[in-house]
A and B are shown apart, each in its own frame.
Chain A
Amino acid sequence: RKEVEQDPGPFNVPEGATVAFNCTYSNSASQSFFWYRQDCRKEPKLLMSVYSSGNEDGRFTAQLNRASQYISLLIRDSKLSDSATYLCAVSHGSSNTGKLIFGQGTTLQVKP
Chain B
Amino acid sequence: EAQVTQNPRYLITVTGKKLTVTCSQNMNHEYMSWYRQDPGLGLRQIYYSMNVEVTDKGDVPEGYKVSRKEKRNFPLILESPSPNQTSLYFCASRARGGLTDTQYFGPGTRLTVL
Contacts and interface: CB of A to CB of B under 8 A. Distances in A.
B90 interface: yes
B61 interface: no
B113 interface: no
Given A42-B108, A43-B90, A100 B99 contact: yes
Binding site of A, secondary structure by majority: helix, strand, loop or mixed? loop
A103 B104 CA distance: 17
Taking residues whose C-beta sits less than 8 angstroms from the other chain, chain A's interface range is 20 to 34
A99 B88 contact: no
A93 interface: yes
Interface stretch (B11-19, B38-46, B66-74): B38-46
B40 A98 contact: no
A35 B75 CA distance: 27
Given A98-B94, A102-B43, A31 B108 contact: no
A98 B108 contact: no
Contact of A46 (B45, B58, B102): B102
Nearest to A88: B42
Contacts of B45: 99-101
A87 interface: yes
Given A43-B105, A91-B99, A98-B94, 11 more contacts: A43-B107, A87-B43, A98-B33, A98-B103, A99-B48, A100-B45, A100-B99, A102-B35, A102-B42, A102-B43, A104-B42
